[in-house]
Amino acid sequence: MRLKEEDRKDFKKFELFFQFNFHRVFYNFLILSGDFVSYYLFLDGVLFMLYDI
């Protein structure tokens, strides 16, 4: 089923809005919980493991 052009635009707007809000809430939670640094180190370790093949 093909989406109409305006429906596609609306969906894209919703998608961007959702992503922005999710990241904002997620980062606020990390900063408030004081785990931002440990999360950064964790992410660094995960990326290192993924690319260290």
Q: Tell whether the model's pLDDT for residue 41 goes beyond 70.
A: yes
Q: The whole model's pTM is what?
A: 0.28
| DSSP codes of every residue in 1-53 | -PPPHHHHHHHHHHHHHHHHHHHHHHHHHHHHHT-HHHHHHHHHHHHHHHH--
- The answer to whether residues 19 and 10 touch, using CB atoms and an 8 Å cutoff, is no
How big is the CA angle at 40 (ends 37 and 45), to the nearest 5 degrees? 130
- For 16, the token pair is 């961007």
Give the pLDDT confidence of 19-38 residue by residue, as tens digits: 777 777 777 776 676 666 77
In the chain, the percentage of residues whose pLDDT exceeds 70 is 77
Question: Could you tell me which residue, 4 or 35, shows the higher pLDDT?
Answer: 4
Instruction: Give residue 29's pLDDT.
Output: 74
